[in-house]
Amino acid sequence: MSDQNIQLNEDGRLKHFLTIDGLNKTLLTEILDTAESFTGVSERTVKKVPLLRGKVICNLFFENSTRTRTTFEVAAKRLSADVLNLNINTSATAKGETLLDTLRNLEAMHVDMFVVRHADSGAAHFIANHSAPHVSVINAGDGRHSHPTQAMLDMFTIRRHKGEFTGLRVAIVGDIMHSRVARSQILALNLLGTSEVRVIAPRTLLPAHVRTMGVHVYHDLMEGIKDVDVIIMLRLQKERMRGALLPSEHEYFQLFGLTQARLAAAKPDAIVMHPGPINRGVEIDSVVADGPQSVILQQVSFGIAVRMAIMSMTMGAQAQGGAR
């Protein structure tokens, strides 16, 4: 079954959110517009809307990521859902119980949504294919494959600062080969009509098929970020690397690290992004990460609204009036 068939209901609305692939510009724009309606919730005295009251959302994290799990948890609670956080290291799966047995037991507790993070590509698809019909699945990152909610919060951040995607030049810098975030970002940027998407990396950190993804490839940082509107720095995925793909972190920073001097090659109003966590002094200098052009902390804040939007849309709740 294709991603598109898995992800969409018969009426074309989201059932699961597993990958950007197979979606269209209209649906991505609806996610961004719905997220916009939720941005004001954090400013309220009572930071909640009742859209998912009575629903149970389970954070099913087979791979550690405190920040991503926490933002999903905050998003679910702001939608008034009940949240289960399953610690896989101490769960039955670590004692030999199969993943399907774990799913069936959770479904018996009337779980309505699984937010899945897993080191294996395709894990979220597997769970979506084997879950009960009423259950929605959101991919919170699977192997090297996809991280669609991160891509959408990045798109939201770009739209907040730059308006339309048409006319923008966006550069993605770093470990493209191992980055599920980069794959999702490239798909989303192209679907939303970005004029030019550039990837900048050493040859050893680029997948062989990268040019087929609709990007322009650069191996020189200064040349690649010249006159761009948005720079997205990626974390070096050291835990996913096999073999000596880099001479050293120091040499990587000398060639591909973003410093204030190098940032001057981009447009004066260019914004700097990073999906985090940042390796300071490896991918980016602290002066830039904490500087006026950095929107890295805004990405984290916007992530809550975007994940609220995706949760509410996959469960059919946004039609009840958004965050009004």
Where in the sequence numbering do the catalytic residues fall?
A: 67-68, 95, 117, 147
Residue 20 CB neighbours (<10 A): 26
| CA atoms of 145 and 14, how far apart (whole Å) | 20
Residue 309 has a CB neighbour count (10 Å cut-off) of 29
Pairwise CA distance, residues 289 & 249, whole Å:
18
Q: Residue 12, SS3?
A: coil
* Alpha carbon distance 30, 10 (integer Å): 17
Could you give the residue ranges of the DSSP H alpha helices within 63-220?
Answer: 66-78, 99-108, 123-130, 148-162, 180-191
Q: What angle do CA 287, 296, 216 make, to 5 degrees?
A: 95
Cβ atoms of 79 and 304 within 8 Å: the answer is no
- Taken in order 30, 33, 36, 38, is the CA torsion positive or negative? negative
| Cα–Cα distance, 68 to 313 (Å, whole number) | 19
Q: To the nearest 5 percent, what fractions of the chain are helix, strand and coil? A: 45, 15, 40
What CA–CA distance (Å, rounded) separates 155 from 271? Answer: 13
Q: Report the sign of the C-alpha dihedral through residues 166, 180, 148, 212, in that order.
A: positive
CA–CA distance, 218 with 15 (Å, rounded to integer): 37
The answer to whether the CB of 135 falls within 8 A of the CB of 111 is yes
